[in-house]
Amino acid sequence: MDFLKEFFDKLRDIQALVSWAGYVGLFAIVFAETGLLIGFFLPGDSLLFTAGLFAAKGLFNIYELNILLIIAAVTGDAVGYYIGKRSGHAMYAREDSRLFKKKHLIATKEFYEKYGPFTIVAARWMPFARTFAPVVAGIAEMSYTKFLTYNVVGGISWVMSMTLAGYFLGTAFPAIVNHLELVIAIIIFLSILPGIIKYLQVKYGKKH
């Protein structure tokens, strides 16, 4: 219980969380956020960026960090897909109800057949979406071979883009650590911007 209390206390401070978690903790956080439905609230982009920044300060080895977190991201999505795949069969056999319509599930499957690869990759940079996208892919029965390919592409590009951004900025501008809260706020805003744009398109697009 003390461990969990300390963990949730650290969630309020990304710098403290990264320092406290270490390699094993960072692996567990990235894995949980991408592979377990309960991990949707965990930090993603900001965590990776801060880890890269700390690697520039010598707290982590940037090569070991990237390899470890790429494995966490890829295996996490694979677990999410498996969860969706296992639960999906039951959902296809489920009768329609007020809250569940089989036609929506079929429409989701058709969407993934057409846009699935893009969704798997792009969702990596979107909070919440990166947690649920692999699960939905499994429910929609997306081909695992196709899923695995884009899971690996997305996992590598997401982890390396964020950690290396933190690493190179931390190397070029060491003082950036003093303004980390502002940088993280910008990262969070950019990560939710696609969702905001999509919401506005849906809300106002029909009127115009």
pLDDT at residue 54 greater than cutoff 60:
yes
Q: Give 141-174 pLDDT, tens digit per residue.
A: 888 998 999 999 999 999 999 999 999 998 888 8
Please give the pLDDT value at position 8: 46
Query: Which among 121, 120, 122 is positioned nearest to 81, based on CA atoms?
Result: 120
- In SS3 terms, the chain reads as CHHHHHHHHHCCCHHHHHHHHHHHHHHHHHHHHHHCHHHCCCCCHHHHHHHHHHHHCCCCCHHHHHHHHHHHHHHHHHHHHHHHHHHHHHHHCCCCCCCCCHHHHHHHHHHHHHHHHHHHHHHHHCCCHHHHHHHHHHHCCCCHHHHHHHHHHHHHHHHHHHHHHHHHHHHHCHHHHHHHHHHHHHHHHHHHHHHHHHHHHHHHHCCC
pLDDT tens-digit profile of 113-135?
777 788 888 888 887 778 888 88
Nearest Cα residue to 47 out of 13, 4, 9: 13
In whole numbers, what is the pLDDT of the chain averaged over residues?
Answer: 80
Model pLDDT for residues 57-105, shown as the tens digit of each residue? 899 999 999 999 999 999 999 999 998 888 877 766 667 776 556 676 6
The per-residue pLDDT for 4 is 45
Give the list of residues 6+ apart from residue 31 with CB closer than 8 angstroms, or none. 39, 72, 73, 75, 76, 79
- 50: tokens are 């801060």
Token pair recorded at residue 41: 């609230």
The answer to pTM > 0.85 is no
Q: Check residue 200 and give its pLDDT.
A: 67
Please report which confidence band the pLDDT of residue 45 belongs to, taking 50, 70 and 90 as the band edges: confident
CA separation for the pair 167, 165 (Å, rounded)? 5
Predicted pLDDT at 183: 76
Q: How many CB atoms lie within 10 A of CB 127?
A: 19
Q: What is the pLDDT of residue 78?
A: 96
User: Tokens 């080895």 correspond to what residue?
Assistant: 61
Which pLDDT does position 208 carry in this prediction? 45
